[in-house]
Structure 1
């Protein structure tokens, strides 16, 4: 059993639950007035993209549990290196997006997701 990878898999399982239930509820709260057709269309698109990401997060979580619990042979290193790159990219993109948008109350410390992604990448590196 790969304990660092199991820790990341567990973190990701929590992320999936938080994303599906908490995030969807929060995103639903910002629904525009239905009479604003253009805004409504964009909001529905954002809700769809948000839930598509939930599927991706679940897939990553299941892959991490597979790596943590079973010996996947030589493919394991390749999978972990790919996931390290993915988590690093998530962290970079999240950090850059928050910095680029520069909104009051939505800074890098109020939206610390990037720290979680870099932390997970570091744990996966330890698990190599």
Structure 2
């Protein structure tokens, strides 16, 4: 069993739970008035896109637990490195998006999700 991979699997599982419960509740609070059809359509689209990440987190968590508790032989390293790249890209896109949107109320330290993704990327890289 690879402890670094197991650690990232647990972090991902925690992120999944937080995303589903706290994230959904928080995102639901910004629902526009139902009579504003354009904003409602945009919000529903954002909620649907938000929940697409739920599927990603679930698949990644399951894959990480599978890798952590099994011996995949020569396939293990490419799988782990691919997941490390995925986490790195998640972090990179998060930082780029924050910088592009450039809102003082939502800076790098206020929305530090990118730190978790870069940490997970590094741990997986070291664990490969």
Verify same fold: TM over 0.5: yes
Could you tell me which runs of 5 or more consecutive residues in structure 2 were left unpaired when the two chains were aligned: none
SS class of match (1:74): helix
* Counterpart-to-counterpart distance in 2, 1:124 and 1:53: 20
> How do 1:31-110 residues align onto structure 2 when only pairs under 5 Å count?
31-110=31-110
Residue by residue over 1:62-111, the C-alpha shift from the partner in whole angstroms, topping out at 9 and shown as x without a partner, is: 00001111111111111011111111111110001001111122000111
Q: TM-score, normalised by structure 2?
A: 0.98
SS class of match (2:104): coil
* Counterpart-to-counterpart distance in 1, 2:91 and 2:51: 19
Aligned length: 128
> How do 1:8-47 residues align onto structure 2 when only pairs under 5 Å count?
8-47=8-47
Could you tell me which runs of 5 or more consecutive residues in structure 1 were left unpaired when the two chains were aligned: none
Q: Residue 127 in 1 paired to residue 114 in 2?
A: no
Cα shift at 1:41: 0.6
Q: TM-score, normalised by structure 1?
A: 0.98
Correspondence for 2:113: 113
- After TM superposition, where is structure 1 displaced by more than 3 Å over at least 4 residues in a row? none
